[in-house]
Structure formats: C-alpha cells, structure tokens
Amino acid sequence: MEFHIDRAKVLPKANLWELLEGLKKRYKLIAPVKEGEKFAFREISDVSSVELNYTRTILPPKKFLLPYRRERFSYDPETMEFKSSFKAEEQVIFGIHSCDLHGISILDSIHLKENPDPRYLEVRRKTILIGISCFPDEYCFCLSTGTAFPDGANWDLFLTDVGPDYFVSIGSPKGDEIVLTFKHLFREIEKEDLELYKRSTAKKKRAFNEENLPDLERISQLIELEYDSPVWEEEAKRCLGCGTCTNTCPTCFCYTSVDVPDLTGKEVKRIEFITSCQYPYYSLVAGEHYFKPTRTSRFRHRYYHKFVGYPYQIEKLGCVGCGRCTAECPAGISMVKTIKRLRGVDEKELREVTE
Amino acid sequence: MVKVGIVGLTGCSGCQCEILNCQDALLKLLTLVDFALFPLAKDGEFDGELDLLFVEGSVSTFLDKEKLLKLREKAKILVAVGSCACYGGVQAQRNDEAELEQMIREVYGKWELPFELFKPSPLSDFVEVDYFLPGCPVDKKQFVYTVASLLNGVKPFFPKLPVCHECKLSENECLLLKGVPCQGPVSYAGCGAPCTAKGVGCQGCRGDCDFPNHQEMLSLLTQRGLSYEDAVKFLKVFRGNSFKVRGLNEKGA
C-alpha cells in the first residue's frame, strides 16, 4: 500500500544517538542540555548530555543565528579601511521545539523579507534546524498562537515522539540529504506509524489547560482598542524594567551599537549588542528626550509590537507562545494574564458577569 | 605624552589593585602615557598638570578634601573610580541613620579630635566629576575601555542597563526565581554579572540602573524572607548616601 506522505520517515529511538554522533562529526552540533534546574542550548561535545525531554531553555536558539554581542566590523580611523571578522560555520541546531522554529521563521521574515541582511542569510544557509516534539507546561500557550506544531518550510527535520520511534517529518532538501546520508538509521513509514503520529499530535492538543490559554482572536484590534486601559499601568507597576522578557524572547531582535577604540586608537571595533525596549535608555535621543518616558508606555510598547507591529510588518503575530517571558519574569508578570485582563475576563470580572 | 594620575582617598585600594591587574593593557599603556602620579605603584612626588586623573575612595577627612580640591585644579579630566568615589561606598551606608558626632563618639570615645572628619561622601559632593566608573572593585574591562576612549577623544558610553541584562544573556538561572535575594533588577550593569553566575545574589555594588523600581524590588525581597527594614538595608549597602526608595511616581519611572 502506498502512502502519500513521502516526505516522512521513521527513526527508531535507539538509533537517535548514532544520528547525533554522525551529525557531530560533520557539523557544529548544538542541542539543549540541563544546567541546574533549567535548560540551555549549548555546543555539544558529548552527545549523551543532550536533553530530549525539556520544557523550555532559558534563551531561545536565536543566539546561534544572531549572537547577543557581535562585531559588525573594525576600522582604522585614519585610513578608514574596514575589516570584517565575520565567519559563519556549518551548524546543526537539534532539539528545537515547534514554538522556537516558528520564532526563527519570524526572524527570517524580519531579516530576509525586505533588504535582506547578508550575514543573517549566510548564517541561515549554513544552519540545519532539527525540531523535536514536546508537551506543554503551565506557561505554554502555543496552541493559541498557532505555533504548537511545525509549519512552513524554514526547518529541515522534525522528530515527533510516537512511543518506540520518532516520526520524522522532512521539511527541506537539506533535511532530505541528512536522511539520505544516514539512510541505514531510518525506515519507511507504515500505516500504524501514521496512526501513532496522529494520536501523538492529538495528545499534545489535549494536554493544554484552557485556563492557561489566552484568546487571541482579533488581538491586534483588542490591543489598539485598549490603549487607554488602566490595566497597562496596574501591570507596569510591578515591572522592574529588567528586560528579561525581551532578552529571552525568540522573536525580539532590537540591538544597538557602539564604537570601541583600542588603546592606540588605530583600530576601532563596531560592537552590536542586543537591547530591550523595556530600558529607558532604548528610547533616549539627543537632548535627553525619551520617546517612551514612563514605565507604563514601555510595558505597553512590548505588547503593541508583538500583537500590532509584527502583523503590520510580516503578517504574523510576534508571539509564539513559548512562555519564556512569563516563566523568567522575576516579578511574575504573565503575558497571558495581561491579555485576559485586557479582554476583561479575569476571574473576578467573570464572576461579576455570571452572578 | 599624556600625563595620568591615579590616587586613592578613603578606601581599601582594591580598585587601584584592580587597575594594576590590567597587565596586558598596562604594558601597552606604558608606551602611550606617563603615569606621573600613582603613589600605590610608583615612588616620587608630582606636582604638575595632569591630563587624566582617576580617584579612588570616598572623602571622609579634611586631608581627603584638600587633596581632592588641589588635584581637581590640576586635572583636565577627573574620573571617579569605584563605588566609594562614586557613591560614598559601604562606609556611607548608614550616613542617614546617625549624626556625625554620635558616630565619632562611638568610634573614638570623644568628640574633640585634632583633625576634621566628615561623613564618608562621594567626590561629587566636593568637586565636579567628569566620568563615573562604579563597582566594588571597578571592572577591569571598563577601566581599559574608559582609558582607550578618553585617550582617543571619544566619550565613553555607559548605558545604565540593569544587571539582569548581562545575567540573562549569560543564561544564568534567575536567582530571584530560586528564592535568593538579588538586586539585579535595580542595579547598574557593566560588571558582566559575575556574582549571579556563581549563585550569589547581586549586591548592587555599582549603584542604581536607570529609573529603578525600588518599590517592586523591596516587595520581591520581602517575599523572599527579608523583613522590610532588612530589605531596605540590603539595598543601602552600596547606595548609602544617595538612597531613597524610587517607584512609579517619579518622572521616567
């Protein structure tokens, strides 16, 4: 019997380690590892340290596509000769969850759609993305953002845990090549595999708790309609302005740059580093004018950019529901709760309506 | 040759030692500048004009004050180095809790002394300071960056971002979320967050970041087991002289 999914294979779980070893020999291998009680994407030297069952890493895999601190170029201020030390390496990022793959797809739209950034393009060309399926915890809301399952064509392989095996979806010719290279580790799919795959995705869907999911219908309009809502100020009161939400966000990309001279003044390096709209400094311009002068305006700005700005720019929401901004916020500010409050459906109000 | 001075007032000399630890940079600097005045590292007197002066320590005696006023007149650019010079340092953390007389009687047993003392104060209480390099001790990289910028006629750039910025980008586990008292969200980054990387909560040695939300910080600290008074004292350790609880009500907050 012929199946129409010819872009999928099955990888028995026991063969995964050999696949990782093989990838490590050919590329720089990056994968999640456990550090303390949290997880982080790191370059792998020992494949047994790769963590397959993790909820979320502190930082998204974005850091291997857009380093948080990077040198744009260096120059001699007298001759104005410019040099670049940029070099992209062939790399495989393994174990990316669906939300982060969607995050990378958003970064792709930002950096490659209009005026493509040649560096980002080169890094992306040399990067292979291998995703893995996951189960949500109380902070995940990817089901609302439509990012719970891989989509589009920005990833190469996606492994869905179906029990004894991984159901491997192939997303690109690069993914095909990998499967071909490691042919002996994969087997063809059979009808039962398809059933298992469908059951596994349905199981993930059911694992979400309705209470943890925001209603994102017409969210751009909601945010604009609620511009003057007192909710912004009430939530912003607790905001420390520490920038953790944007620094851990898989779709935030703002950066600033500074020229750093060496002691002799013969070489000046232009250093770019990631910054956050939550810092007053971010909107500071000449004459000590702040475009976002209050904590409330900075707080609201992030929601505006995610839910109004991105849709205008790339026709997608800027949020993939990974839950990092909520899970890592020292003050415990929750994006889902803020949205629910803006909708006016937090528990108290709901009770008032029903009573 | 550019004449550089490095002097200390009331402090532990830790910042000057940290400057001496910038070995590679110092070797390069020796070919570019003349360390005309550096009593900790070099013999001899110097009474001439200085292009660049780094001052460590707080002002707490009339000797400190005289020295500082005299040096300020001779220096084109004055940089306050370390938290003592910038904010008064740990010795200033209880400045607002007692009168000077009470402090002196407690320490010396009598009020009449042969010399004049002040409450430990930052340099900016007495002279104009061009740049501030806080930290306990000062960060080596920031010192070298400042010297490199000033020697080349560039204004050094110090955005007052919170320590959380550098801590989170180093992918450390958040200590506040683990229940450890940490001042990262209200403290001025630039150190590279070495303490939090080792599991020690930020002590705020570099002072406040831009528009700190002290009110929320205090409530987070009290939720982690500190009494309100202890939480305020914790924030005051390095902010001492200038500390007041800042929250949402003021401009920019």
Nearest to B214 by CA among B180, B241, B250: B250
A243:B168 CB<8 A: yes
| Mean pLDDT of the region B107-112 | 90
Letter for the amino acid at A285? V
A-chain residues within 8 Å CB-CB of B221? none
pLDDT digits (tens, 9 = 90+) for A305-334: 999 999 999 999 999 999 999 999 999 999
Residue, of B5 and B253, whose pLDDT is higher: B5
B144·A239 Cβ contact <8 A:
no
**SS3 assignment, position A73:** strand
Intervals of chain A under pLDDT 50: 1-4
Subunit contact A241:B213, Cβ cutoff 8 A: yes
Q: Which residues of A touch B165 (CB under 8 A)?
A: 242-243, 247, 276, 279
d(CA B126, nearest CA chain A) in Å: 26
Interchain contact, A237 vs B248, CB within 8 Å: yes
Burial class (CB in 10 A: 0-12, 13-18, 19+), A134: buried
Using an 8 Å Cβ cutoff, are B217 and B246 in contact? no
- A275 neighbourhood in chain B, CB within 8 Å: 159, 161
For A105-171, the DSSP string reads HHHHHHHHSSS--HHHHHHHHTEEEEEE-----TT--HHHHT-SS--TTS-SEEEEE-SSEEEEEE-
User: What pLDDT, on a 0 to 100 scale, did the predictor assign at position B231?
Assistant: 95
Higher pLDDT, A151 or B206: B206
**Under an 8 A CB cutoff, do A239 and B213 touch?**
yes
Please judge whether B174 and A265 are an interchain contact, meaning their C-beta atoms are less than 8 angstroms apart.
no
Q: Terminus-to-terminus CA distance in chain A, angstroms?
A: 59
Instruction: Give the A:B interface size as CB pairs under 8 Å.
Output: 123
Q: Do A330 and B29 touch (CB under 8 A)?
A: no
Nearest to A241 among B159, B168, B211 (CB): B211
The backbone torsions φ and ψ at residue B232, rounded to the nearest 5 degrees and listed phi first, read: -65, -45
Contact A236 B248 (CB under 8 A): yes
Residue B250's pLDDT is 59
Q: Which distant-in-sequence residues (6+ apart) come within 8 Å of A315 by Cβ?
A: none
Residue A187: DSSP 8-state? B
Confirm if A42 and A236 have CB atoms less than 8 A apart. no
Looking at residue A185, what is its pLDDT? 97
| Chain B positions in Cβ-Cβ contact with residue A258 (cut-off 8 Å) | 157
Reported pTM: 0.92
Q: How many whole angstroms separate alpha carbon B142 and alpha carbon B158?
A: 9
* C-beta neighbour count of A2 within 10 angstroms: 4
CA A79 to centroid of chain Cα atoms: 41
Using the predicted structure, report yes or no on whether residue B19 has a pLDDT greater than 50: yes
Q: Does B151 touch chain A (CB under 8 A)?
A: yes
In sequence order, the β-bridge partners of residue A259 are: A270
A154 part of contact set with chain B, CB < 8 Å: no
Inter-residue contact A61 to A96 (CB < 8 Å): yes
The reply to whether A67 touches chain B by the CB within 8 Å rule is: no
Instruction: Please judge whether A295 and B211 are an interchain contact, meaning their C-beta atoms are less than 8 angstroms apart.
Output: yes
| Cα–Cα dist B159/A316, whole Å | 32
Give yes or no for B174 touching A (CB within 8 A): yes
Q: Distance, in angstroms, between B114 CA and closest chain A CA?
A: 45
Q: Within its chain, how far is the Cα of B42 from the centroid?
A: 24
Q: pLDDT at position A1, please? A: 39
Select from A338, A281, A278, A331 the least CA-distant residue to A307.
A338
Confidence band (pLDDT; 50, 70, 90) for B152? very high
Contacts of B211 in chain A (CB under 8 A): 241, 280, 295
Per the CB < 8 Å rule, is B169 touching A59? Answer: yes
Q: What pairs with residue B162 in β-bridges?
A: B188
Output the CA torsion A301→A302→A308→A310 (10° steps): 130
Instruction: Tell which wins on pLDDT, B114 or B131.
Output: B131
Per-residue confidence (pLDDT) for residue A4, from 0 to 100: 46
HEC sequence for chain B: CEEEEEEECECCCHHHHHHHCCHHHHHHHHHHEEEEECCCCCCCCCCCCEEEEEEECEEEEHHHHHHHHHHHHHEEEEEEEHHHHHHCCHHHCCCCCCCHHHHHHHHHCCCCCCCCEEEEECHHHCCCCCEEECECCECHHHHHHHHHHHHCCCCCCCCCCEHHHHHHHCCCCCHHHHCCCCCHHHEECCCCCHHHHCCCCCCCCCCECCCCCHHHHHHHHHHCCCCHHHHHHHHHHHHHHHCCCCCCCCCCC
**Cβ–Cβ below 8 Å for B220 and A259:** no
Q: Which residues contact B186 (CB under 8 A, 6 or more apart)?
A: A240, B162, B204, B208, B209, B212, B213, B214, B217, B235
Asked if the C-beta of B17 comes within 8 angstroms of chain A's C-beta atoms, the answer is: no
For residue B176, the chain A residues in CB contact (below 8 A) are: 330
Q: Which residue of B has its CA nearest to A278?
A: B161
Q: How confident is the model at residue B138 (pLDDT cuts 50, 70, 90)?
A: very high
Domains and CATH numbers, chain B: 2-151 (3.40.50.700), 163-242 (no CATH)
Q: Which residues of A touch B215 (CB under 8 A)?
A: 237
B chain contacts of residue A69, beta-carbon cutoff 8 Å:
169
pLDDT of A2:
45
The pLDDT score that the predictor gives to residue B168 is: 96
Give the per-residue pLDDT at A355.
58
Digit-coded pLDDT (tens) for B49-68: 999 999 999 999 999 999 99
